[in-house]
């Protein structure tokens, strides 16, 4: 993603999200974010978009074989999870005590 201005995303590593599009779509289940790749606008979510990777034997992994792991999905395919309402929500940013905080639009709670 080569743009003049760097995009800002509301999702961080460790957040709970709901997958709203794709093969693993489930708006009723919260899943944990493992990694955010802001330069590619992609995100790795626990248990979503599982791929099988064939690995050769190396010094660290003497066996090699087939490994299942998560692959990145588009950041637009997830929504932040609101713990109070138990549903996905949009995000609003406000300044509190000089710091920007994320606020869930459904419940009005601050997202940690």
pLDDT in tens, 66-75: 999 999 999 9
CATH code, domain with 63 = 2.30.30
| Strand pairing category for 65-70 and 50-55 | antiparallel
- Residue 2: per-residue pLDDT: 64
Asked if residue 100 belongs to a domain, the reply is: no
**CA 67 to the chain's CA centroid:** 21
pLDDT band at 7 (very low <50, low <70, confident <90, very high): confident
Q: What is the pLDDT of residue 112?
A: 82
The answer to whether position 21 is within a domain reads: yes
pLDDT tens digits, 47-85 = 999 999 999 999 998 999 999 999 999 999 999 999 999
Residue 6, in any domain of the structure: no
* Residue 69 domain flag: yes
Interatomic CA distance for residues 37 and 106, integer angstroms: 26
Asked if the structure places residue 90 within a domain, the reply is no
Structural domain that includes position 45: 15-85
Mean pLDDT of the chain: 93
Establish if 23 belongs to a structural domain: yes
If phi > 0 it is left, if psi is from -120 to 50 it is alpha, else beta; for residue 41 that is: left
Our count of domains for the chain comes to 1
């Amino acid at each position: 993603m080569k743009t003049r201005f760097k995009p800002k995303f509301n999702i961080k590593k460790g957040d709970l999200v709901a997958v709203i599009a794709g093969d693993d779509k489930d708006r009723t289940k919260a899943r944990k974010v493992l990694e955010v790749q802001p330069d590619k606008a992609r995100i790795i979510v626990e248990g979503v978009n599982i791929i099988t990777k064939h690995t050769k034997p190396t010094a660290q992994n003497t066996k090699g074989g087939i490994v299942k792991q998560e692959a990145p999905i588009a950041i637009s395919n997830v929504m932040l999870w609101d713990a109070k309402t138990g549903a996905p929500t949009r995000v609003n940013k406000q300044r509190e005590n000089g710091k920007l905080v994320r606020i869930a639009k459904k419940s009005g709670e601050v997202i940690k």
